[in-house]
Protein backbone atom coordinates (compact mmCIF):
# COMPACT_ATOMS: atom_id res chain seq x y z
CA UNK A 1 0.00 0.00 0.00
CA UNK A 2 2.44 2.64 -1.13
CA UNK A 3 1.73 6.35 -1.10
CA UNK A 4 2.93 8.46 -4.01
CA UNK A 5 2.87 12.13 -4.85
CA UNK A 6 1.70 13.07 -8.33
CA UNK A 7 0.99 16.18 -10.32
CA UNK A 8 -1.97 15.95 -12.65
CA UNK A 9 -1.43 17.36 -16.15
CA UNK A 10 -5.18 17.79 -16.65
CA UNK A 11 -6.19 19.80 -13.60
CA UNK A 12 -2.68 20.90 -12.55
CA UNK A 13 -3.29 19.84 -9.00
CA UNK A 14 -1.04 17.86 -6.75
CA UNK A 15 -2.34 14.52 -5.61
CA UNK A 16 -1.26 12.21 -2.83
CA UNK A 17 -2.42 8.80 -3.88
CA UNK A 18 -2.66 6.01 -1.37
CA UNK A 19 -2.63 2.85 -3.40
CA UNK A 20 -4.55 -0.14 -2.19
CA UNK A 21 -2.14 -2.51 -3.82
CA UNK A 22 1.17 -2.48 -5.58
CA UNK A 23 -0.52 -3.59 -8.78
CA UNK A 24 -2.38 -0.28 -8.95
CA UNK A 25 0.77 1.82 -8.90
CA UNK A 26 1.32 1.48 -12.62
CA UNK A 27 -2.10 2.89 -13.44
CA UNK A 28 -2.73 5.92 -11.24
CA UNK A 29 -5.85 8.02 -11.60
CA UNK A 30 -6.14 11.64 -10.52
CA UNK A 31 -8.38 11.81 -7.44
CA UNK A 32 -9.42 15.35 -8.41
CA UNK A 33 -10.48 15.02 -12.03
CA UNK A 34 -10.08 11.35 -12.85
CA UNK A 35 -7.35 12.11 -15.38
CA UNK A 36 -4.67 9.62 -16.25
CA UNK A 37 -1.90 12.07 -17.06
CA UNK A 38 -0.13 11.94 -13.74
CA UNK A 39 3.55 12.72 -13.33
CA UNK A 40 5.22 11.24 -10.32
CA UNK A 41 6.78 13.85 -8.04
CA UNK A 42 10.06 13.29 -6.31
CA UNK A 43 9.47 13.24 -2.61
CA UNK A 44 10.38 16.42 -0.83
CA UNK A 45 12.45 14.49 1.65
CA UNK A 46 14.40 12.75 -1.08
CA UNK A 47 15.88 16.08 -2.07
CA UNK A 48 16.98 16.70 1.50
CA UNK A 49 18.84 13.46 1.78
CA UNK A 50 22.23 13.08 0.23
CA UNK A 51 22.32 11.46 -3.17
CA UNK A 52 24.27 8.58 -1.73
CA UNK A 53 21.72 7.88 0.98
CA UNK A 54 18.90 8.14 -1.53
CA UNK A 55 20.48 5.66 -3.92
CA UNK A 56 21.21 3.35 -1.04
CA UNK A 57 17.59 3.47 0.04
CA UNK A 58 16.36 2.87 -3.49
CA UNK A 59 18.69 -0.07 -4.03
CA UNK A 60 17.56 -1.75 -0.85
CA UNK A 61 15.52 -4.70 -2.10
CA UNK A 62 13.60 -4.92 1.16
CA UNK A 63 12.16 -1.45 0.53
CA UNK A 64 9.65 -2.83 -1.95
CA UNK A 65 10.33 -6.36 -3.08
CA UNK A 66 9.84 -8.23 0.14
CA UNK A 67 6.52 -6.74 1.11
CA UNK A 68 3.83 -9.33 1.45
CA UNK A 69 0.54 -7.52 1.05
CA UNK A 70 -1.29 -10.33 2.73
CA UNK A 71 0.87 -10.08 5.82
CA UNK A 72 -0.09 -6.96 7.79
CA UNK A 73 3.14 -7.11 9.75
CA UNK A 74 5.15 -7.11 6.55
CA UNK A 75 3.17 -4.15 5.26
CA UNK A 76 3.64 -2.37 8.58
CA UNK A 77 7.38 -2.83 8.36
CA UNK A 78 7.40 -1.37 4.89
CA UNK A 79 5.21 1.57 5.83
CA UNK A 80 7.26 2.39 8.89
CA UNK A 81 10.36 2.38 6.74
CA UNK A 82 8.70 4.50 4.08
CA UNK A 83 7.49 6.89 6.77
CA UNK A 84 11.03 7.29 7.99
CA UNK A 85 12.23 8.02 4.48
CA UNK A 86 9.57 10.66 4.08
CA UNK A 87 10.59 12.26 7.34
CA UNK A 88 7.42 11.18 9.09
CA UNK A 89 6.02 14.68 9.07
CA UNK A 90 3.71 14.50 6.05
CA UNK A 91 1.89 11.39 7.08
CA UNK A 92 0.03 12.54 10.15
CA UNK A 93 -0.98 10.68 13.28
CA UNK A 94 -3.25 8.34 11.31
CA UNK A 95 -0.25 6.87 9.60
CA UNK A 96 1.41 5.93 12.87
CA UNK A 97 -1.81 4.51 14.21
CA UNK A 98 -2.34 2.47 11.09
CA UNK A 99 1.17 1.04 11.23
CA UNK A 100 0.66 0.10 14.86
CA UNK A 101 -2.60 -1.64 13.99
CA UNK A 102 -1.06 -3.46 11.06
CA UNK A 103 1.68 -4.68 13.36
CA UNK A 104 -0.91 -5.95 15.79
CA UNK A 105 -2.37 -8.07 12.98
CA UNK A 106 -5.34 -6.05 11.71
CA UNK A 107 -5.99 -6.15 7.99
CA UNK A 108 -5.53 -2.98 5.93
CA UNK A 109 -9.16 -3.20 4.83
CA UNK A 110 -10.41 -3.15 8.42
CA UNK A 111 -8.20 -0.21 9.27
CA UNK A 112 -9.25 1.77 6.20
CA UNK A 113 -12.88 1.24 7.12
CA UNK A 114 -12.41 2.82 10.53
CA UNK A 115 -10.06 5.58 9.39
CA UNK A 116 -11.72 7.51 6.55
CA UNK A 117 -9.12 10.27 6.72
CA UNK A 118 -6.36 7.94 5.70
CA UNK A 119 -5.84 9.33 2.22
CA UNK A 120 -4.08 12.40 3.53
CA UNK A 121 -4.97 15.91 2.55
CA UNK A 122 -8.71 16.41 2.41
CA UNK A 123 -9.79 17.36 -1.09
CA UNK A 124 -12.91 17.05 -3.24
CA UNK A 125 -13.01 13.56 -4.68
CA UNK A 126 -10.41 12.26 -2.29
CA UNK A 127 -8.06 9.49 -3.28
CA UNK A 128 -10.08 7.09 -1.18
CA UNK A 129 -13.06 7.53 -3.47
CA UNK A 130 -12.06 5.04 -6.08
Residues that bind Zn ion (CB under 5 A): 8, 10-11, 30, 32-33, 35
Nearer to Zn ion, 31 or 72 (CB): 31
Q: Considering beta carbons, is residue 24 or 33 the nearer one to Zn ion?
A: 33
Three state DSSP letters for the chain: CCEEEEEECCCCCEEEEECCCHHHHHCCCCCCCCCCCEEECCCHHHHHCCHHHHHHHHHCHHHCCCCCCCCHHHHHHHHHHHHHHCCCCCCHHHHHHHHHHHHCCCCHHHHHHHCHHHHCCCCCCCHHHC
Shortest distance in whole angstroms from residue 68 CB to Zn ion = 32
Q: Minimum Å distance from CB 80 to Zn ion?
A: 30
CB of 117 to Zn ion, least distance (A): 21
Report the residue number, 1 or 30, with the smaller CB distance to Zn ion.
30
Amino acid sequence: MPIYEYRCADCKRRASIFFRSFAAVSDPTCPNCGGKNLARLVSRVATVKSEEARLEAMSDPSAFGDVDENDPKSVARFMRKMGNQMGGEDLGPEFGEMVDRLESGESPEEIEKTMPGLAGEPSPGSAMGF
